[in-house]
Amino acid sequence: MVIGITMIKIVPDHEKAGYDALREIEGVKEIYHLFGEFDLFLILEALDRAKLDQLLEEIRIQRCVLDTWSLLVSEEAPGIHPDIGMAFSQAGELATS
């Protein structure tokens, strides 16, 4: 498994449609709204780097997507991301409580 992170710029006034379309894509594990230069933050999961590249291409061709900025989470440094999805989920729970 490989984990990727991507930030997405959405066509203005299409944020809700973009959110809905992207959350339906297999491999998008978590999606967060952002305020600032990017509109959405996605955590992605794929079997390997090639599948992650395919997933990113599927995201980029969505009509509502203007731009992406992607990162691959490294597995070379043990303990850096034991469960990145859980970490973001817990941060979200703290922010809303």
Q: pLDDT confidence of 91, banded at 50, 70, 90?
A: very low
Give the residue among 71, 68, 63 at the shortest CA–CA distance from 9. 68
Domain spans, the chain:
2-74
CATH T-level topology, domain 2-74? Alpha-Beta Plaits (3.30.70)
**Is pLDDT at 93 greater than 80 in this prediction?**
no
pLDDT above 90 covers a percentage of the chain that reads: 69
**Is pLDDT at 63 greater than 50 in this prediction?**
yes
**Is pLDDT at 67 greater than 80 in this prediction?**
yes
Distance CA 63, CA 97 (A): 35
pLDDT at 76: 54
More confident position, 38 or 84: 38
pLDDT at 72: 78
Mean pLDDT, the chain, rounded, equals 83
